A = this chain, B = another copy of it.
Amino acid sequence: MSTSTFGRIFTVANFGESHGPAIGCVVDGCPPGLALTEADIQADLDRRKPGTSRHVTQRREEDRVEILSGVYEGRTTGTPIGLLIRNQDQRSKDYADLVDTFRPGHADYTYWRKYGLRDPRGGGRSSARLTAPLVAAGAIARKWLYEQHGTVIRGHLQQLGDLAIAFESWEAVPSNPFFAPNAGMVQALEDYMDALRRAGDSCGARVRVCAQGVPVGLGAPLAGKLDADIAGAMMAINAVKGVEIGSGFAAVTQRGSVHGDEMTPEGFLSNHAGGILGGISTGQDIEVSIALKPTSSIRLPRQSVNRALEPVTVATEGRHDPCVGIRATPIAEAMLALVLMDHALLHRAQNADVVLPVGPVPGSRVA
């Protein structure tokens, strides 16, 4: 199975390099009849695209998506949806110095060792630019999930470097370039980023994603666990070093009498599980948190080696996100949407006939 393809039956085959002619993907397995236009997809792409504030890379890309197939007269036909995004602003000269040297903490070195050669322009295939087709595919999944199940997938920045961002409201998220759920924090975040940029350094971040209105029963034991697939999808995002479901690492110090979410006919009393038990969705909100490492392309000089394994000093100018986490929120939302849609289809493949005499226990949906 292709290592560039996500999903089991709702699949996304990704292709492209940062500075090649185009990036894109083939989305297969989408049910027919879904109303879909390029505008539906563009909205999510615009949330992810570069150059939208001074705190992210200044590369100018419209990220204009073209639907090449799978849609006829405004509806999906059930056949593969080809999505194409042309690269536009490829200032490859910025990277000329880096052909021969390896940035500490970057995939430069591992690509070279694995493949013997690599496209160094803009990080080639290791660039976070390749998340754009995933966001585009995720927009399709998100639309289907909402129309079929009322599922709403949202995310926000939880922490930027040293600054924890208390959750105030979902409404605050779209009104600032950080996806911060707290308007009062925005100035502090701006200042933090400005100082970081001046220092020529970068920082990590923490992002939370949440899916509300997820049907009960998605996922399968062992290799098909919903949380396993979510963890894999999240860790596939550039720079992610950690994934938590529900309580996550806080579960280490919890007692069973605290962690296990009690149930009543009126609903769950808590959601430490993050909406998944035994790899299967409970109907509660699915709660995921991810840790993103600081960008490896920084101006501060660092020790490294070149292709002859001679010592060199590397300082990266060029255009880079000083915190990749800032643009990660729509990407993480998309990955969650892809996994949920794949499992929704898998579930009805096997269990479409299952009927129970009672409905599900209501979830406890705390934002």
Contacts and interface: CB of A to CB of B under 8 A. Distances in A.
Given A104-B260, A255-B201, A260-B298, A68 B4 contact: no
A229 B113 CA distance: 20
Contact of A279 (B236, B250, B253): B236
Interface string A230-267: 11111110101111111111111111111111111100
Interface residues of A, number: 165
A222 B300 CA distance: 28
Contact of A236 (B75, B110, B228): B228
Contacts of A283: 113
**Copy number in this complex?**
4
Given A79-B17, A249-B291, A345-B349, A305 B69 contact: no
Contact of A232 (B202, B228, B349): B228
Contact of A68 (B16, B70, B297): B16
B311 A264 contact: yes
Interface string A220-232: 1111110111111
Interface stretch (A27-35, A39-47, A56-64): A27-35
A295 interface: yes
Interface stretch (A118-126, A169-177, A181-189): A118-126
B247 A15 contact: no
A262 to B, nearest CB: 4
A360 interface: yes
Contacts of A253: 159, 161-162, 203-204
Contact of A229 (B216, B232, B293): B232
Contact of A4 (B28, B114, B278, B311): B28
A223 B79 CA distance: 12
Given A4-B222, A272-B105, A302-B257, A217 B114 contact: yes
A159 B33 CA distance: 42
A191 interface: no
Contact of A353 (B31, B162, B273): B31
A103 interface: yes
Contacts of A282: 109-110
Interface in A48-97: 66-70, 72, 75, 77-82, 84
B236 A223 contact: yes
B259 A293 contact: yes
A236 B225 contact: yes
A24 interface: yes
A218 B174 CA distance: 38
Given A260-B106, A304-B262, A293 B222 contact: no
A11 interface: yes
Contact of A242 (B72, B245, B358): B245
10 contacts: A3-B221, A5-B13, A5-B223, A31-B351, A33-B115, A106-B260, A114-B216, A114-B217, A242-B242, A308-B358
